[in-house]
Amino acid sequence: MEKKIWLASPTMHEWERKYVTEAFDTNWIAPVGPHVNAFEKEMEEYAGEGLHMVALSAATAAIHMALKLLQVGEGDVVFCQSLTFAASCNPICYEHATPVFIDSDTTTWNMDPKALEKAFEKYPNPKAVIPVHLYGNPAQIDELRRICDEHNVPMIEDAAESLSSTYKGKQTGTFGDIGIYSFNGNKIITTSGGGMLGCRNEKWAEKVRFWSTQARDAARHYQHSELGYNYRLSNVLAGIGRGQMKSLELHKRLKCDLYKMYEEFFADIDGVSMQPLNTDGDSNCWLSCITIDPASGVTPAKVMEALDEHNIESRPIWKPMHLQPLYEHCDFFTAKEKSSNSEEIFNTGLCLPSDIKNTGEDNDRIRDILRKVFR
């Protein structure tokens, strides 16, 4: 069997081993400890903008905590980008609120400001708006922020896929009232599983630390006055995260090199378009994605099957949430007359192998297969 080439897998270095060994040697194995505290501080320094960071077990947990901070509850409406992973919206249902989905634009594949405006016409008082920086590409965040501010609605900025991406020189995750980051196994840096919540309100950050450690009151005995959660990141995984942070900019450069490689490869192939990058931003190019004109006679399935035959992993674009069986009853807003941008991107798109450990030989294999599919 040919060598396996992954879509995106963890890339480890020596610092991770050092910090994990430190955690074992000092017996800090619990979801508290010096690596957790240091990881939060290092993320605060990296993101800037006065954010207070809280390290959690997943970005999903961070979104859940964000919704609780904003007192989202039963009967409330929350606007969420439709073209995203389910973790962006599932926590809305944890709090028995109602997700309302917003279409994407064609210039970034992220939340369409025009569609968001239409949603406000029907639902003038949502409790929050959740835009996503899809595949690391910054959204039209100024426009989205302006609309939220005009309606006095807080923004939860889902930067789970976009750590190190910037918009007009500022880190993504710093534009919302609350920012969300992911360190899942396939992200640009990883803690195996993990996430981070960032906000400027220090009391909010302390509240999330309280909730995420089972909401234990300050008493000698175990006393609980509020519902708590087991959401804190472990000291061992935080050690991995600290090590990964040292290579974040390297990982970003290698991801962007892969995007450029595909961009150059497809330049002479009719009917194929890369995900357009926001011209006001600097994407981390977490995954390199394309759409294929149906008139070309090539389908995303055909490309994925050809790669799979050679033990190379690729993936479909996220299936929009408004098309999911779980959420098909929810409202969806698009600025288009027919169909929607998110459906078209899903139907014609795929994510190409984007592993930064790929060798030149690996990339030659990928391109040879793609060349045969599109010839």
Question: pLDDT tier at 375 (50, 70, 90 boundaries)?
Answer: confident
**What pLDDT is recorded for position 31?**
86
What amino acid occupies position 63?
I
Question: How do the domains of the chain map onto residue ranges?
Answer: 14-245, 248-374
Which residue's entry shows tokens 């899942």?
Answer: 184
Kindly state the DSSP code that residue 330 receives in the 8-state scheme.
S
| Strand ordering across the sheet containing 77-81 | 128-130, 77-81, 98-102, 332-333
Question: pLDDT tier at 32 (50, 70, 90 boundaries)?
Answer: confident
Distance CA 291, CA 299 (A): 9
Distance CA 129, CA 110 (A): 13
**What pLDDT is recorded for position 83?**
98
**Count of other CB atoms within 10 angstroms of residue 339:** 11
Distance CA 140, CA 53 (A): 24
Distance CA 215, CA 205 (A): 13
Question: pLDDT tier at 323 (50, 70, 90 boundaries)?
Answer: very high
**What pLDDT is recorded for position 30?**
83
Q: What is the mean pLDDT of the chain?
A: 97
pLDDT beyond 90 at 1: no
Q: What is the mean pLDDT of residues 345-373?
A: 98
Token pair for 118: 């239409």
**What pLDDT is recorded for position 337?**
86
- Backbone φ, ψ for residue 279 (5° rounding): -70, -15
This prediction has a pTM of 0.97
CATH code of the region 14-245: 3.40.640.10
pLDDT above 70 covers a percentage of the chain that reads 100
Residue of 211, 224, 366 whose CA lies nearest to 304: 366
Q: What is the pLDDT of residues 231-258, one digit of tens each?
A: 999 999 999 999 999 999 999 999 999 9
pLDDT above 90 covers a percentage of the chain that reads 97
Architecture of domain 248-374: Alpha-Beta Complex (3.90)
Kindly state the DSSP code that residue 4 receives in the 8-state scheme.
P
Question: pLDDT tier at 285 (50, 70, 90 boundaries)?
Answer: very high
Q: What is the pLDDT of residues 332-343, one digit of tens each?
A: 999 998 889 999
